[in-house]
Structures are given as C-alpha cells and as structure tokens.
C-alpha cells in the first residue's frame, strides 16, 4: 500500500527521533533496536481528562467526535473519590453534529456594528523575526549563523560598498538574487525559519529546528468576537508532511484557510465546534488545490507526492474550548493552578493510536510496532478520506491551551511533562511561554520543526470586565 509506506516514512526513532524508513530494524542514526520499542508513556487519552477513566475503557477508545457525545462514565461530575473534578474541563451539552449545516443562532445580527475590540483583524503574514544573537540566544546554539542578525557594524561596511544585503554566514559576501552568498555560498535565513506572532492574548512561535533545512510548519492566530460581543481566540498549527512534495506550502495554505474560515464563521454565530469542522474542511480544500499546481520547486522535493500536512486548531471563547485536528499535531490543556491535572485533548491519527482505539492491540504492543508513529490521517489530495475530529470542553478553571506540532511534543510527550515545561505565567505572557516551549524542543535536539501556539483560557481574563 503506497499510503502505508508514506506513513511509515514518518515514524521516528524512539531514542533519537531520527526519521525511519519502513523497513528499518535499527535506527540509522543511533543504532537503537527498533524491535524493542518501549510502550509510550501512558498518557490519558483525550477523553479521560480527570484521570478517572482507565485508558482501555470503552469511552477512552472513542474518538471525541461530536456525533458521538462522550459516554456518561467518561465525564463524571467529580473524581472517583467524590471530590470536585480537579481542574478538568467538563463536556458541554452535545453540540450540533458537524455534518448538519450550521444554523445561524436566532440571535445573530448580521448588521451588527463593528466592535472595536472584537473585529476580526485582517491577518497579515506572520512577521518574520530575525534571530537575535543578543538576547534570546540559547547557550547551546553557539554561532549558528541563521540565528544571528548581521552585525550592523560589519554589515554597514560591506553593504555600503557592495550595495546589497550582506551574508549572515561569512559577513563578507553580498547576497545574490537567488538568496545565496556570492562569497561562501551559504543560503540565507528564510522568512519562515523563525516566526513569531502575537495577536491579542494569543501567541505563536515557529522554528526550523536544528536538523531540518527548512521550516515546514506553519501557524495562524487570530481573535474575533462572537455575536454576543464576547471575544473568541483562534490558533491553528500545521505540520507539513516531509515525504510529500512542497509540505511547506501545504502547511501555510492549510493554516491560513482554517484561520480565515474560523474568523469569518465565528462572528456569524456558527457554533465554534461546527466552525472548527468547517475550517478543517476549508484547510483540506486549500491543500488539495495545491496538488493541481505545477511543482514550482521540484528540485526541492526528492519525492513527488501530493502536498500534505497535519492540522490542529483551538478556539477559545468565554466558557468554551473547542479543538479540532487531523494528524498527529496536538492540543494540551494546562491549568494555571498546576496542582490540577493537565491533559491532552487530542488523539493522534497514528497507526498505534488507531490500533489501540480499535481494540486490535494493546498499547504496549501497538507502540512497539515500527508503524506506530505513521500518521493515518492528513490533509492532502492523497488522503483516504477527510475525517476532521473536533471536541468541545468547558474547563472549570483558567488555564492555557497548548497547540503544537510533534516537534514540541516529542520533547514533552505526556500532559504532565508539558505542564512541567511550560512557564507558570504562560497564560499572562503567552509569547514568552511559546518561546520557552520552542527553546525546550531546541535544547532537546530540535530534530524537527517546532511550532507552538498558546491560547489563554478563558477568552475573557478573570477579573477583566466583559467586552
């Protein structure tokens, strides 16, 4: 099956995260014996948020899909000991099924005047942030050239004489029209190598990482207002599938399309969960459209597969948290009060997760298989069928929503680890929190592109006056 081989190519060595070929028995980079892959750390899957439900239980195997509202036992009002749920989001009333057309709420007023704080901003491209050698330079990345902005003093000398940007690698050559230094030949940092964006209380950071030659992740963040005037925040993160052609274009197209879809649907009163479903469909259409276009950068792509990417998104309103995803990018919930349990809110579209969910294999057996990390769902023209997963939560306390690619969660897999890594003030300083998380992945080796978006919950900060 061609699909399977493509997926298998995405699985990674459990020891060093080296990408593996489907037939590998040992990791080509570190020699890790892949036949002895240990079980992934038990991580309460999506629905058992309060830890009261064993992972193997029926409800836990169900995808948190809206048409099948979570079964009762999975959502106890309190913990097994009768105490109130420890910071766990509780399920909302069953949302409208995503297949049903979004019926505008009766209260929607299309003639609503613009609300100053809640108008959907036009989303400019994420601003590239030059990697500064001055402040945010992690100590373990000495002198890696893309991090460093040209030294203005050196740059000034040669630029004035040569009349063009000066190379960041050798600081001696001019950069030619193709983006290479005419002296040392080094490719210059690209816009997408490192991106940061802050929009309202939502912040996102994306980094190329240390081992990949380009950033195939993309994100989009935005804020808007619901028809009742309360704010809604949106974060979308996409991870291009490296074995496909032009994965960077796929992730960019998907994140933009989903973001635009949400920002236009939410103010119209579409239920956030329905809006998320529609946004994923819109993103899939955008990626599918890429497959028809001629390969502009054919030499960049050793394989010729349809462009593909994963998607994960979160919408945060005053009382509701909606997530949606396809693929293995994830959403984590981390309460501000760290004594309350954190949780992973998504369930990977991966081979192992499917095997476990279908009851065909135990978790240990499934994750020991070499196909464990192959993704089984993605956006792209060659996807089997689009199966957007969405879920709604009503967290009972403030927290921060972590929307990320596997470039981050590879280094903080369980919800507990994620909660340990994220700064305590992430809900207040989300951009700083996102930078710290990206730094954590880079410190761990940065084997993949790293992208993380942080959305504080609830949308209206506690104590702040309602809009």
Partner 1 sequence: MANFSKSNVPQFSVDVYQNEYLPEGAGEVNAIVTVTATGGGTIGSAVAAPHLYSPGRGPSAAVVLMVDCSGSMDYPPTKMRNARDATAAAIDALRDGVHFAVVGGTHVAKEVYPGAGRLAVADATTRDRAKQALRRLSAGGGTAIGTWLRLADRLLASADVAIRHGILLTDGRNEHESPEDLKAALDACAGRFTCDARGVGTDWEVKEVTGIASALLGTADIVADPAGLAADFTRMMETAMGKEVADVSLRLWSPVGATVKFVKQVAPTVEELTDRRTEAGPRAGDYPLGSWGDESRDYHVCVEVPPAQLGQEMLAARISLVIPQPDGGAQNLGAQGLVRAVWTDDLAASTSINPQVAHYTGQAELAEVIQEGLDLRKAGDADGATAKLGRAVQLASVSGNADTAKLLAKVVDVVDAATGTVRLKAKVEEADEMTLETRSTKTVRVKK
Closest CA to 276 of 331, 315, 305, 222: 315
Binds partner 1 (CB under 8 A): choice among 105, 180, 386, 443: 180
**DSSP string for residues in 246-299:** SHHHHHHHHHHHHHHHHHHHGGGT--HHHHHHHHHHHHHHHHHHHHHS--TTGG
Instruction: List binders of partner 1 among 213-272 (CB under 8 A).
Output: 213-214
Pattern 7-46, binding to partner 1, x per CB under 8 A?
--x--------xx-x------xx-----------------
Q: Which stretch binds partner 1 (CB under 8 A): 167-175, 350-358, 397-405, 407-415?
A: 167-175
- Per the CB < 8 A criterion, the answer to whether 20 and 28 are in contact is yes
Q: Which stretch binds partner 1 (CB under 8 A): 170-178, 232-240, 306-314, 382-390?
A: 170-178
Three-point CA angle 199, 202, 204, nearest 5°: 90
DSSP 192: G
- 178/385 with CB nearer partner 1: 178
Q: What is the distance, to the nearest Å, from the Cα of residue 407 to the centroid of all Cα atoms in its chain?
A: 9
Closest CA to 337 of 399, 417, 412: 399
- 182/228 with CB nearer partner 1: 182
Q: Where are the alpha helices (DSSP H) in 56-139?
A: 58-61
Helix (H, G, I), strand (E, B) or coil at 72: helix
369 is a site residue for partner 1 (CB under 8 A)? no
Return the axis-axis angle of helices 272-292 and 247-265, rounded to nearest 10°: 150
Binds partner 1 (CB under 8 A): choice among 15, 183, 230, 264: 183
Binds partner 1 (CB under 8 A): choice among 171, 194, 208, 373: 208
- 29/386 with CB nearer partner 1: 29
- 6/414 with CB nearer partner 1: 6
- 14/209 with CB nearer partner 1: 209
- Which residues, 6 or more positions from 229, have their beta carbon under 8 angstroms from its beta carbon? 115, 118, 466, 467
301 is a site residue for partner 1 (CB under 8 A)? no
Least separation, in Å, of the C-beta of 292 and partner 1?
Answer: 24
Closest CA to 322 of 236, 257, 196: 236
Q: In whole angstroms, give the CA distance from residue 196 to residue 24.
A: 37
Binds partner 1 (CB under 8 A): choice among 72, 124, 152, 302: 302
* Cβ count within 10 A of residue 163: 8
Q: Site size for partner 1, by CB under 8 A?
A: 30
212 is a site residue for partner 1 (CB under 8 A)? yes
Binds partner 1 (CB under 8 A): choice among 65, 211, 268, 338: 211
- Per the CB < 8 A criterion, the answer to whether 405 and 239 are in contact is yes
Least separation, in Å, of the C-beta of 222 and partner 1?
Answer: 30
Least separation, in Å, of the C-beta of 255 and partner 1?
Answer: 22
Q: Which stretch binds partner 1 (CB under 8 A): 63-71, 205-213, 315-323, 389-397?
A: 205-213
Least separation, in Å, of the C-beta of 176 and partner 1?
Answer: 8
467 is a site residue for partner 1 (CB under 8 A)? no
Instruction: List binders of partner 1 among 104-143 (CB under 8 A).
Output: none
295 is a site residue for partner 1 (CB under 8 A)? no
- 22/105 with CB nearer partner 1: 22
Q: Which stretch binds partner 1 (CB under 8 A): 50-58, 202-210, 230-238, 381-389?
A: 202-210
Output the CA–CA distances (angstroms, integers) from residue 363 to 37, 56, 109, 255, in the order listed.
12, 9, 49, 31
H or E, element range at 308: strand 308-316
Output the CA–CA distances (angstroms, integers) from residue 307 to 33, 98, 193, 196, 253, in the order listed.
32, 26, 19, 24, 10
Output the CA–CA distances (angstroms, integers) from residue 46 to 56, 346, 391, in the order listed.
12, 5, 9
Q: First and final CA of the chain: distance in angstroms?
A: 53
Q: In whole angstroms, give the CA distance from residue 291 to residue 464.
A: 46
DSSP 78: B
Q: Which stretch binds partner 1 (CB under 8 A): 75-83, 204-212, 280-288, 431-439?
A: 204-212
187 is a site residue for partner 1 (CB under 8 A)? yes
Q: Which stretch binds partner 1 (CB under 8 A): 185-193, 336-344, 394-402, 452-460?
A: 185-193
443 is a site residue for partner 1 (CB under 8 A)? no
Name the residues that contact partner 1, by CB under 8 A. 9, 18-19, 21, 28-29, 144-145, 170, 172-173, 178, 180-187, 208-214, 299, 302, 447
């Amino acid at each position: 099956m061609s699909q399977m081989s493509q997926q298998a190519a995405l699985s990674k060595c459990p020891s060093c995260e080296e990408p593996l070929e489907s037939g590998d028995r040992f990791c080509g980079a570190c020699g890790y014996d892949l036949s002895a892959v240990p079980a992934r750390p038990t991580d309460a899957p999506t629905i058992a948020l309060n830890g009261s439900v064993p992972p193997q239980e029926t409800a836990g195997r169900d995808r948190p899909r809206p048409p099948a509202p979570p079964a009762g036992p999975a959502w106890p009002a309190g913990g097994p000991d009768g105490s109130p749920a420890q910071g766990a989001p509780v399920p909302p009333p069953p949302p409208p099924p995503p297949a049903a057309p979004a019926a505008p709420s009766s209260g929607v007023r299309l003639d609503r005047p613009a609300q100053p704080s809640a108008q959907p901003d036009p989303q400019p491209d994420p601003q590239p942030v030059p990697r500064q050698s001055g402040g945010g330079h992690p100590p373990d990345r000495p002198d890696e050239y893309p991090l460093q902005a040209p030294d203005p003093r050196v740059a000034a000398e040669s630029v004035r004489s040569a009349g063009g940007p000066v190379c960041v690698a050798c600081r001696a050559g001019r950069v030619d029209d193709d983006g290479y230094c005419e002296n040392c030949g080094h490719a210059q940092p690209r816009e997408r190598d490192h991106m940061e964006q802050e929009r309202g209380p939502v912040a996102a950071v994306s980094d190329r990482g240390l081992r990949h030659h380009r950033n195939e992740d993309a994100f989009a963040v935005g804020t808007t207002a619901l028809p009742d005037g309360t704010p809604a925040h949106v974060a979308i993160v996409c991870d291009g599938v490296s074995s496909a052609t032009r994965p960077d274009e796929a992730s960019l197209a998907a994140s933009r399309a989903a973001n635009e879809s949400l920002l236009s649907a939410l103010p119209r009163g579409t239920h956030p969960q329905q809006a998320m479903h529609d946004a994923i469909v819109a993103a899939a259409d955008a990626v599918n459209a890429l497959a028809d276009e001629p390969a502009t950068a054919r030499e960049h792509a050793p394989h010729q597969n349809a462009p593909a990417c994963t998607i994960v998104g979160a919408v945060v309103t005053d009382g509701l948290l909606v997530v949606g995803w396809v693929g293995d990018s994830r959403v984590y919930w981390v309460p501000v009060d760290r004594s309350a349990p954190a949780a992973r809110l998504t369930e990977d579209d991966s081979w192992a997760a499917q095997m476990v969910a279908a009851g065909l294999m135990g978790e240990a057996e499934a994750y020991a298989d070499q196909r464990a990390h192959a993704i089984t769902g993605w956006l792209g023209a060659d996807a089997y069928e689009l199966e957007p997963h969405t879920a709604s939560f009503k967290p009972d306390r403030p927290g921060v929503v972590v929307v990320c690619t596997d470039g981050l969660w590879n280094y903080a897999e369980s919800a507990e680890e994620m909660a340990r890594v994220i700064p305590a003030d992430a809900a207040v300083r989300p951009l700083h929190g996102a930078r710290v998380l990206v730094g954590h992945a880079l410190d761990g080796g940065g084997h993949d592109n790293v992208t993380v978006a942080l959305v504080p919950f609830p949308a209206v900060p506690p104590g702040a006056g309602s809009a």
